[in-house]
Amino acid sequence: MANSKPLPPGRPRCWRERFFKVMEEAVSARFRSVSYLHTRGPGLAGHLSALQHTVMADLATVRHLLEQCVPPHYRLTQAYLRACHHCLQSHLGQVSSWDLESGEIFAVLNWVLHIYSSVEMMGQPDLVAEMAQEELGPLITQEGLEQLQNKYVQSVRRSVSEWMHKALEVELTDWQRDQEPDTDHEGYYHTSLPTILAQMLEENARVALMISESLRDQTIQMGLYEMENLLNRFREALVGFGKEHRKEPNSDNKFYLHYLLASISNCIILKHSTESLQRQLRPPAPGRFSRALPGTLAALERAVKKACRLVMDQLLLDIQPYLQGILTRSWLTQGNITPKLCSVLEHHWELYGRVRPPCRERLQEESQWLTVMEYVRALMQKRLVCRNTEERQQLAERMSQDAQQFRDVFQSPEAEGTDSEINHIALLSVLADFIQLRDPSMLSLEVSGLVAKYPDISEEHVLVLLEVRGDVSREIRGTVLDLLESTAPKLPPGYRPLFSDILVPAPSMSFCLPTPKCA
């Protein structure tokens, strides 16, 4: 105290504190001077860019001019950086509280996470030497960033949902066109739906990745959930499309089947797009539960199954008039019905070639299966019962000829090397051999082989086959039934039951009650 000197007259106390207070007020005023008139919508990105240039210009002034006017221990650049950072924190907190659209949120996130820390701003090497950004702390807290990202995803979701709704409306309009669907360079049917959806989801994922992988993952999962919702509506639209067609099968919509096939190809394209998006998702971190993926692929499979079912329904509708005429006496003597039936099958088979694999093969397989099943169903209706050996021989030959005509229709380059279609049609040859067997005493052995090949054949089916032969005695019938009762084969793995889906007409009464009329 003895050595203390009085302060010069008029000199204020705490000059250093007052200096920094004035500087902070000047920085705050500088921020307020940046125009706020156009900070909403597209103007927000411009506003943030203006902030960047203002901060960097003022920082250059501080470093190259003002810092030489104050004592070195003031560390003016650090003080200015800290003041700017605090003002930015406050300002961005206010901006984040607004009801922002996805483009605005993207601008904020990009500025906070990438531009602010880049070499164009605080990442400049000489600035990092002055003060590491870790000392300043984040512009927006982690919780604030997560809220912004969630708001971004929800905003994008609204846009995606709206676009998907419009795309589905366009698709339903396309189904009513009086022309074939478009074909791609490989000749497959398609419409604009899968291209619109795939490009939209991929673009959203690409934009989100510019912010972070986390936001990209959130955006992809959101897109897949919306895709699942769309596919559920798409399947409902297919159901309605089929109902309307069944009400007026002879309406002007002659390309009904073609657009069903295009829908199947569309689903195959969407399946590839979905799998591509799922591959972009990062695996869950160790020790963390992975979030269940949306059921997009399952929804796709449901839509494909419904479309394939409608295609098979249409095939059955188209061949039904000819199915009613087969295995009758006119069919046996004239034989002109099966070629007409094969002509319809061939037309469908050619159209199935416009569907992308593997659904193309799936439709071809189902069409073969349906044809054989309906043929056997007609046989089980006992439209034709043989009266002698010659008729049995003629019936067997005609069935074998039909089987060969079906093979000619169902032959395809894709099926070479496989015998799935041959296995289906081979049943007709097996039944023909059963009918033309000359020695009835060998029928029990023949039935044993039939049961071994087709274990779902029932006693009722075998009895109908015996009746169609028309020469089986009661004794042989009893022997065959005893064999069937003692044989209960299990269905082998992968075996697809056929006879179990074919109902057999109730047998006619073979005896008469003792009424006076019968007596």
pLDDT digits (tens, 9 = 90+) for 225-280: 999 999 999 999 999 999 999 887 666 678 999 999 999 999 999 999 999 999 99
- What are residue 378's phi and psi, to 5 degrees? -65, -40
**Which residues lie closer than 8 Å to 409 by C-beta, 6 or more apart?**
342, 345, 346, 349
Residues of the chain with CATH 1.10.357.70: 324-490+497-501
Q: What is the pLDDT of residue 482?
A: 87
Separation CA 490–CA 496 (nearest Å): 12
pLDDT at position 91 is: 87
**Please, where in the chain does CATH 1.10.357.50 lie?**
151-282+294-301
* 11 pLDDT above the threshold of 70: no
- The span from the CA of 5 to the CA of 149, in Å, is 60
**CB atoms closer than 10 angstroms to residue 183:** 13
Task: Report which residue type is found at 426.
Answer: A
The reported pLDDT for the residue numbered 511 is 42
Q: Rounded to an integer, what is the distance from CA 181 to the centroid of its chain?
A: 20
DSSP states of 420-472 = HHHHHHHHHHHHHHHHH-S-GGGHHHHHHHHHHH-TT--HHHHHHHHHHH---
**Which stretch, 31-35, 118-122, 135-139, 205-209, has highest mean pLDDT?**
205-209
Looking at residue 421, its pLDDT comes to: 44
Integer Cα distance of 253 and 191 in angstroms:
17
Q: Which of 491, 403, 486 is nearest to 454 (CA)?
A: 491
Q: What pLDDT digit, counting tens, does each position of 457-488 carry?
A: 999 999 999 999 999 889 989 998 888 888 87
Contacts of residue 37, Cβ cutoff 8 Å, sequence gap at least 6: 43
What phi, psi does 406 have (nearest 5°)? -65, -40
Burial of residue 514 (CB within 10 Å: 0-12, 13-18, 19+) is exposed
pLDDT score of 420? 47
CATH class of 151-282+294-301: mainly alpha
CA within 13 Å, CB half, 396: 18
More reliable by pLDDT, 370 or 83: 370
pLDDT at 509: 47
Confidence of residue 341 (pLDDT cuts 50, 70, 90): very high
The residue among 106, 104, 111 whose CA lies nearest residue 40 is: 104
How many whole angstroms separate alpha carbon 146 and alpha carbon 138?
13
**Residue 403 near residue 425 (C-beta atoms within 8 A):** yes
| Architecture label for domain 324-490+497-501 | Orthogonal Bundle (1.10)
Buried b (16+ CB within 10 A) or exposed e, 373-393: bbbbbbbbebbbebeeeebbe
